[in-house]
Amino acid sequence: MKKEPFRLGIVPADAYRERRKAPGYDWVKSIIVCAFPYRQAKAQGRYLPARFGYGSDYHAVLSAKLEEVARTRGLSRYEILVDRSAFDEKLLAWLAGLGFLGRNTLLITPEFGSYVVIGTILTDHVFPEYSRPLEASCGECDLCVKKCPSSALAGGFNRESCLSFLTQVASEDFPRYDLLKDAYYGCDICQEVCPHNRGKDEYLREFEFSDDSVLTLAEMESLNRKTFQEKFKNKNFAWIGYLKMLRNIIVLEANNNNINIKKIEYFQKLHADAPWFYRHMEYLKKRLKNGAQ
């Protein structure tokens, strides 16, 4: 049986505390950090999430795998954290020697490139040996900076300009949404152009692409807030909710010339109780009316 691909490193908690505060975690002596790969060939279909949304929700997947790590290590007191925590996961991953922080602000690992999701185990266990940070960098390469369509990496990372961030929030920076082309959740552009990701194609089987990752406007129209959550409860994009996902799909349809003003107006009236959604639909109507694509 093939061994599952992932990287593991261990950080003394004090090494983290020297750089960041960690209130409420005085009991923690060590932090186990794991990076799990998810890169696979780009799927076909309209519309899709970024690759980290192709398969099962990584929060649940990593939680289960980290429980197994804790069990095999014989830990007694521990706490598993995936994504949502008071700890800086990327800093921990660097301290654990899993990779370096790239110009695209992502962790870049030697084995899997930047297509990894990170999980941590806090524990009171003291280990005989700890990992050391990896000394590496992007060098002079700035492909991700040049290729980012929203210039989110120019002069440092601007989260509010990042297309991945915009797909997850109710922002009213409407013109930036015009840059979306095929991804309704997340964005892989800065990873797709990164030289460190060439030839990297390992991923956990739980992250393998599933057909329910393809979303259409017709399907969104058949759903509502409740049924959306029920249908996609095992997907990591479910948390953004029905209305933001509907907004994303409508924007993509408009950006690809697949929707008319009448249809946008239909959804605008249907969800007029959400001011941000109403205003975004109004923006799209004016844009289409003026012929600006």
83 is catalytic: yes
Can you tell me the distance from the alpha carbon of 44 to that of 129, in angstroms, rounded to the nearest whole number? 45
Phi, psi (degrees; rounded to nearest 5) at 204: -70, 145
Catalytic residue among 14, 26, 57, 83: 83
Terminal C-alpha separation, the chain: 51
Q: What torsion do the CA atoms of 146, 147, 153, 154 make, to the nearest 10 degrees?
A: 30
Strand partners, 174: none
Can you tell me the distance from the alpha carbon of 41 to that of 168, in angstroms, rounded to the nearest whole number? 24
Which of 43, 120, 112, 59 minimizes the C-alpha distance to 88?
A: 120
Calculate Rg over the CA atoms of the chain: 21
Which of 23, 75, 79, 40 minimizes the C-alpha distance to 204?
A: 40
Can you tell me the distance from the alpha carbon of 61 to that of 81, in angstroms, rounded to the nearest whole number? 12
Q: What is the DSSP string of 97-146?
A: TS-EE-TTSSEEBTTTBT-EEEEEEEES---S----------TT--HHHH
DSSP assignment, residue 5?
Answer: P
Q: Which residues contact 74 (CB under 8 A, 6 or more apart)?
A: none
Can you tell me the distance from the alpha carbon of 111 to that of 235, in angstroms, rounded to the nearest whole number? 26
Contact (CB, 8 A) for 9 and 98: yes
Q: What amino acid positions are annotated as catalytic residues?
A: 83
